[in-house]
């Protein structure tokens, strides 16, 4: 096969040369990366952020996301999102925004794929239980735990612990720990894109899942200003729809609307503030990629509604309570009998302490494995 002349020319470019042609000056370029904690030679045909993405995809923690709940447990069916499908949706939205703004898509994807690696089983219910159990030792945060995974807990390479990801990916994940901190406000645009994409994904898809599971009715959502406006836009384009066709069209419109809003607002901000470098991004002291004020308020109203009607739904609360009781009992059981821990975790007790080591082990479990181990080791019959 003979490549077109332009493709042949591009194929001969170095990674740095190609990025200078494709990326905006305010994007993070591979050649400007601050490297890795454990130095490694450059790869022949993959840039540093592509390698980060690939290492995350091949990690055990990433695979386990397929069996960790997003909001709803697998007992309710198999339509709704898992932590892994949510992660892919965040990556999809983030890449779309990043490409429109000429940002580094490999870095964006690495950040998106890593952003929920630290979630324990049973979603935020599991996180809250572990946070309570570790209250005297700094608590538990899934964002902070994701860093522990990629820096310490994953053991895939003989040369170093963890995945040895780039400084930029580690700093991006660290910015998620306290989203009001100075470091978060000075984050790379690629980091800001992933944070905004996460909001787009869960605001839209948690409602979709709740509808499919019968926890909400479409009419309830259409009374909210955000959904009502999306429905008006759908009607202007397609005419009167109802039922599932209307639901699907509104969901598509919500995603498209939010993505377009992010791109348009960011473009105006970058131009108005003459942002022309990564240094200018870091120095501006506020977020450059976030929803416009009007859309932000509409999203907040939706989030308040979802909190009351979905996240606090009796079925969800029942699952939450059962999961937390199970994790508390398992935590106490492993503290009392640390010999039950796998050898790799038992060997970490002296370094990390018994309570943190037990929490690390529990956090790595899938929902199904946690239930299996609870029945096998701790269930009193």
pLDDT computed for residue 4 by the predictor? 53
Structure-token pair, residue 36: 């890795």
Beta pairing partners, 115: none
Q: How confident is the model at residue 278 (pLDDT cuts 50, 70, 90)?
A: very high
Could you give the percent of the chain with pLDDT greater than 90?
Answer: 82
CA atoms within 13 A on the CB side of 238: 16
Q: Output the average pLDDT for the chain.
A: 93
Contacts of residue 218, Cβ cutoff 8 Å, sequence gap at least 6: 211, 243, 246, 247
Are the beta carbons of 104 and 98 closer than 8 angstroms? Answer: yes
- Summarize the confidence of residues 89-106 as an average pLDDT: 98
With residues binned 3-state (H G I as helix, E B as strand, rest as coil), the percentages for the chain, rounded to 5, are: 70, 0, 30
- What are 291-344's pLDDT values in tens digits? 999 999 999 999 999 999 988 888 888 988 999 999 999 999 999 999 999 998
Which CATH architecture fits 46-378?
Orthogonal Bundle (1.10)
Instruction: Tell whether the model's pLDDT for residue 237 goes beyond 50.
Output: yes
Q: What is the model's pLDDT at position 81?
A: 83
**DSSP letters spanning 280-344:** HHHHS-S-SSS--HHHHHHHHHHHHHHIIIIIT-HHHHHHHHHHHHHHHHHHHHHHH-GGGS-HH
Q: How far apart are CA 18 and CA 30, in angstroms?
A: 10
Residue 221 contacts residue 207 (beta carbons within 8 Å) = yes
Q: What is the band of 3 on the pLDDT scale with cuts at 50, 70, 90?
A: very low
Rounded to the nearest 10 degrees, the angle between the axes of helix 354-364 and helix 314-336 is 140
The pair of three-digit structure tokens given for residue 188, joined into one six-digit string: 């790379």
The residue ranges of every structural domain in the chain are 46-378
According to the model, what pLDDT value does residue 8 have? 43
Residues 59/189, Cβ–Cβ less than 8 Å: no
- The arithmetic mean of pLDDT across residues 64-82, rounded, is 76
The C-alpha atoms of residue 289 and residue 267 are separated, in whole angstroms, by: 9
Question: Predicted confidence band at 356 (pLDDT cuts at 50, 70, 90)?
Answer: very high
Average pLDDT estimate for 101-105: 98
DSSP state of 80: S
pLDDT tens-digit profile of 189-205? 999 999 999 999 999 99
């Amino acid at each position: 096969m003979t490549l077109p002349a332009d493709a042949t020319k591009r194929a001969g470019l170095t990674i740095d040369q190609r990025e200078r042609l494709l990326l905006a000056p305010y994007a993070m370029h591979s050649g400007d990366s601050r490297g890795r904690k454990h130095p490694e030679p450059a790869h022949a045909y993959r840039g540093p952020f592509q390698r980060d993405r690939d290492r995350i995809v091949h990690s055990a923690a990433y695979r386990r996301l397929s069996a960790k709940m997003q909001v709803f447990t697998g007992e309710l069916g198999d339509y709704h999102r898992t932590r892994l499908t949510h992660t892919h949706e965040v990556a999809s939205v983030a890449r779309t925004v990043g490409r429109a703004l000429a940002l580094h898509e490999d870095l964006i994807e690495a950040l998106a794929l890593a952003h929920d690696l630290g979630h324990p089983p049973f979603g935020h219910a599991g996180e809250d239980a572990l946070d309570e159990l570790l209250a005297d030792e700094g608590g538990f945060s899934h964002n902070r735990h994701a860093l522990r995974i990629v820096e310490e807990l994953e053991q895939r390479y003989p040369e170093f612990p963890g995945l040895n990801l780039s400084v930029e990916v580690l700093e991006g994940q660290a910015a998620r720990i306290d989203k009001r901190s100075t470091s978060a406000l000075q984050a790379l645009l690629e980091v800001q894109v992933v944070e905004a994409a996460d909001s787009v994904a869960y605001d839209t898809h948690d409602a979709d899942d709740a509808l499919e599971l019968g926890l909400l009715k479409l009419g309830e959502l259409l009374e909210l200003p955000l959904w009502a406006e999306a429905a008006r836009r759908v009607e202007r384009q397609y005419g009167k729809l109802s039922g599932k066709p209307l639901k699907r069209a509104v969901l598509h419109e919500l995603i498209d609307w939010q993505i377009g809003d992010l791109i348009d607002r960011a473009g105006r901000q970058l131009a108005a503030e003459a942002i022309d470098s990564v240094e200018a991004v870091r120095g501006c002291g506020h977020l450059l990629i976030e929803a416009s004020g009007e859309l932000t308020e509409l999203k907040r109203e939706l989030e308040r509604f979802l909190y009351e009607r979905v996240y606090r739904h009796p079925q969800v609360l029942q699952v939450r309570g059962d999961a937390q009781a199970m994790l508390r009992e398992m935590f106490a059981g492993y503290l009392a009998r640390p010999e039950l821990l796998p050898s790799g975790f038992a060997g970490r007790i002296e370094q990390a302490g018994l309570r943190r080591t037990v929490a690390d082990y529990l956090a790595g479990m899938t929902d199904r494995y946690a239930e299996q181990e609870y029945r096998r080791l701790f269930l009193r019959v």
